[in-house]
Structures are given as C-alpha cells and as structure tokens.
Amino acid sequence: MDITRQKKFEQETHVLAERRREFLEMQREFISMVSHEFRTPLTTIQGAQFLLQKLFKQAVGLSRPVLESGEKWLGLQDSALATLNKLVDQVLMLNRIEHMTGEASLDRLSPKEVISETVARFNDSMDNPRVELRNEVPPGFLASMDPGLVKAAAENLISNGLKYSGLEKPVRVRVYAEKGGWAVDVADSGRGIPPADQASLFRPFFRAGNVGTVPGTGLGLAIVQRAVSFHGGRVAFESKEALGTTFTLHFPGVAHPPRDEEALLGRVPLLGRETDRG
C-alpha cells in the first residue's frame, strides 16, 4: 500500500470512528433522557395507586365480590408498576455501564464485605432467609473494584436464583480468592437454562423459553456480563434444565477498565449485537 492510499485509509478510519463515537453518545443521551422521562408519569401513577388503595381500605358498605375484585386489580397494578420501575432502573444501569470508561469509582475493598452486604439485603427482606453465603476469602484480602457494579452483578444473579427456584430452595453464594484475583459463585436448584437458549443469554432483553409467567426484563444478565467485563473479568456458567444453574464471576485483583478507544472499538452498544460474552 503506497503512502497516499495509506493516509486516505487512515483518514476514513478516523472519520468512521468519530461518527461511531457521535452515534454512541447520541444513543446514550437518548436512552438516558427517555428513561428519566418515564420517572415523572411513573411517580404520578404510584401516587394515585397509593391513594386508591388507601380509599379502598377505608370504604364501607362494599360487597365481598367488589372487595375481592378491587384487591385483585390493584394488586395487578402494583405488580406492573414494580416491573416498569425495575425496567427503567436496569436500562439506566446498563446504559451507564456501556458508556463509562475512566469514570468508575475503583476502590481497594474486601470482596467478602461487598458480597456479604449484598446477601444481607436479600435475607433481611425475607421472613425465611434463603441466601446462603460461604466465605473463602483470606483475611486482609483486597481487590480493586467498582462496588456498585459488583453489587449490581451479584444482586441480579441472586434475584434470578430466587425467582426461578422453589420457595423452599436456597441460593448458595460462595466468594473466594483465586490466582490473579477473586471470584463469586451463585448457584440455584431452579429450572435451569435450555441448551438452545444459552448462546443468547447475555443479549439485552433476551429471556429463556422456559421462564413461563415469571416477570422479568431480560436485562439482568446483560448487566452482569457488562459489569464483570468492565473490570477486565469474565463470566462462566453451567446449567441443566430442572436441576439448576451456577454462575461464576471471575474478577482480577486489579481492575482494568477500558480506555476510551477500547470502549469505542470493543464494547457493545445497548441496542447493538452482543460480541463479548465473557
């Protein structure tokens, strides 16, 4: 390739890179704007829902069929509002991870403490705690991490394990040190993931074919994969239908967030095709 053609190629590559950077920035701003705009009507609807429930409980002279019907429909609205709120939260989280490079808050922290806090939040919210934690991290072991992203990854896996397992079945979490870093396993005894669905598991909005009527957004595992990849780690999993699933998140001891050019060339936009599966 002569010098003139090489310069032309470099210029075209630079122009394409700039256009993609502009596109990703527009996408980030659009998704953020739309998600935030959902907040106002959602807050209004939640306020109206609260008042309706309060008025309904205080109402006198209503027949039993009317009470039962009203409770049913208000319950359905509560469930739908919870799903919408979670969807907005997860879209904003995924959008944040997709476009953050040097803005991460990396601290030297104990993996045991970060994961323990996550497990405690689940168990404290349940009458019969179902999340079991096994700590194998040596005393004094620290690793660099963005604690918000690590917690988000663990929370999504634990939440999935609880949702797709029977009410009496536990979700087992193990955190441990390994060569070059640390890892956390999240294992359940739920319905498992069909083999045909496993290749698409980390694609945004994808849900496995056997989820049935269990509510979900299809964004949880995409957040998990991005949060781990942001640190320079990887995700592995084993699953058998009707027997359960174990996810393992491998984190390096020293996180390696992507630089701007790495994010541009190697990371996947929220609405794009999945290319890095960990």
Same-domain status, 225 and 199: yes
Contact assessment for residue 202 and residue 221, using Cβ atoms and an 8 Å cutoff: yes
Sequence-separated (6 or more) residues with CB below 8 Å from residue 110: 137, 141, 142
Give the pLDDT score at 168: 84
Give the pLDDT score at 1: 54
Q: Name residue 44's amino acid.
A: T
Band of pLDDT at residue 23, cut at 50, 70 and 90? low
Handedness of CA 13, 14, 19, 25 (dihedral sign): positive
Contact assessment for residue 216 and residue 79, using Cβ atoms and an 8 Å cutoff: no
Sequence-separated (6 or more) residues with CB below 8 Å from residue 148: 105
Same-domain status, 144 and 167: yes
Give the pLDDT score at 54: 84
Band of pLDDT at residue 272, cut at 50, 70 and 90? very low
- Does some domain include residue 164? yes
Same-domain status, 146 and 233: yes
Listed residues 99, 116, 143: the one ending a domain: 99
Lowest mean pLDDT among 57-66, 179-188, 240-249: 57-66
Listed residues 77, 99, 121: the one ending a domain: 99
SS3 3: helix
Give the pLDDT score at 252: 96
Band of pLDDT at residue 28, cut at 50, 70 and 90? low
* pLDDT per position as a tens digit, 33-79: 666 677 778 888 888 888 888 888 788 778 888 888 888 888 888 88
Which of the pair, 9 or 136, is modelled with greater confidence?
Answer: 136
- Does some domain include residue 276? no
Run of H or E including 250: strand 244-252
Same-domain status, 70 and 135: no
pLDDT at 186 over 70: yes
Same-domain status, 94 and 111: no
Give the pLDDT score at 227: 92
pLDDT at 96 over 90: no
Listed residues 33, 64, 99: the one ending a domain: 99
- Does some domain include residue 136? yes
pLDDT at 104 over 70: no
Band of pLDDT at residue 22, cut at 50, 70 and 90? low
pLDDT at 229 over 50: yes
CATH number at residue 59: 1.10.287
- Does some domain include residue 75? yes
Same-domain status, 138 and 223: yes
Same-domain status, 67 and 136: no
Same-domain status, 131 and 181: yes
Band of pLDDT at residue 31, cut at 50, 70 and 90? low
Q: Residue 107 forms beta bridges with which residues? A: 145
- Does some domain include residue 278? no
* pLDDT per position as a tens digit, 119-129: 999 999 999 99
- Does some domain include residue 194? yes
Dihedral, 3, 5, 10, 14 alpha carbons, nearest 10: 150
Q: What is the total count of domains within the chain?
A: 2
Instruction: Tell me which residue range forms the domain holding 92.
Output: 3-99
Give the pLDDT score at 21: 65
What share of the chain has pLDDT > 70, as a percent? 84
For 124-137, the DSSP string reads HT-SS--EEEEEEP
Give the pLDDT score at 84: 82
- Does some domain include residue 277? no
Give the pLDDT score at 155: 95
3-state helix, strand, coil in the chain (%, to 5): 55, 15, 30
CATH number at residue 250: 3.30.565.10
Does the predicted TM-score (pTM) go above 0.85? no
Q: Which two tokens stand for residue 31?
A: 């998704």
pLDDT at 262 over 60: no
Q: Note every long-range contact of 36-42, with CB atoms under 8 Å and residues 24 or more positions apart, other chains counting.
A: 36/92, 38/84, 38/88, 39/88, 42/81, 42/84, 42/85, 42/88
Give the pLDDT score at 273: 33
